[in-house]
Amino acid sequence: MKYRFAGKEKLLSFGAYPDLGIAAARDKRTAAKALLAEGKDPMKSKGEVISQEGATFFEVAKRWHENRKSALNAAHAERVWSRMERDVFPVIGEKLVNEITAPDVLAMIRKIEARGALDISRRAKQGVGQVFQFAIACGLASNDPTTHLRGALKPRPRVKHMSRLPLSELPGFIEKLHAYQEEGERRSAITRDAVLFALLTWVRTKELRFAAKSEFEDLCGKSPVWRIPAERMKMGREHLVPLSQQATHIAKSMIAAAPGEFLFPGNGPNKPLSENTMIYALYRLGYHSRQTVHGFRGLASTWANEQLVEFGKPPMWIRKYHEDWVELQLAHSEKNDVRGAYNAAEYLAPRRRMMQDWADYLSGGKVIDIKKAGKRAA
């Protein structure tokens, strides 16, 4: 029920349907009007007939979450709610949703910013805004205070990215890589395929250097994957890398040709590729300060985040690959975002499609010729 008190428009919630029936809601509205006639604010009158159950931010957020949960991946839904429980509810959870102001929300955001989690502060603001949009649609609030925070959040510090080429220069880069012969025929072939494999899989250098043959599964089946153990991952969690046809070709060829336990052996069958082998190869190819192996990750991320598809009528452009697919493929994790469980196979099917699209993009542009890759290490 909307009403004005002391010159201020307010919105009073009696409860959620069907928990509160129509007749009961009418009775509460009548009681509220009676309080107004007596010069009392129904919202402030404790012990009166009016119920504020369901009008706190926590209760509205709970309804919002339940309303959308079925459309979300279970792990993503858990992540969103965990963020609310950790950062939002302790500050504004018990406040009446229609009395929360922009300064209230900003105070919550400042607490997150104080620990340096600027990305999480933005996601928290976005989540609070979605709750308020839901509240407005349900008649539980009249405005969204997050819309008044433009320019109030702390800017992200400028990040120094690993050197990487523009996508347009990839064909020339790979052509030079195919011709690489600086370490002798066999060693050069291993280095070439290791660099190509890093480009195809988006992994970190350490994750690739110590890749063991035993970590590769279903290479002759329909769902080839590379299972990287938790102890080698930056985030300390097992990581599954869906393999494209091109990456699978290299893996199968190296397993058949290379002696020892490592997919890309170093100077000895049971020694991993040395720490600087791949980056030195890029230097010798003339890409010092222009492209790093780690920079392949940023290159691929840029490509994935720029892909759009036309959707709906009237047509609109939307992202082809969800940001969660990209972040999980890169094995990124939100700082301070604690989850009860982690599913290594999360979004595996769409990530597999994304990685095949990436490999086809490279191959389609004649960037990678899989007939050249994986044969010269024998």
Among all residues, which ones are annotated catalytic? 204, 234, 294, 297, 332, 342
Rg of the chain over CA atoms, in angstroms? 28
Contact (Cβ atoms closer than 8 angstroms) between residue 42 and residue 48: yes
Place of tokens 């909307």: 2
Q: Enumerate residues 6+ apart whose C-beta is below 8 A from 313.
A: none
The beta-carbon contacts of 48-51 under 8 Å, at least 24 apart in sequence, are 50/12, 50/14, 51/14, 51/15, 51/20
Structure tokens, 82: 């965990």
The beta-carbon contacts of 71-75 under 8 Å, at least 24 apart in sequence, are 73/324, 73/346, 73/347, 75/339, 75/341, 75/342, 75/343, 75/346
Amino acid at 179: A
Using alpha carbons, select from 161, 184, 174, 243 the residue that is nearest to residue 208: 243
113: helix, coil or strand?
helix
How many other CB atoms sit within 10 Å of the CB of residue 363?
16
Element at 184 (helix H, strand E): none
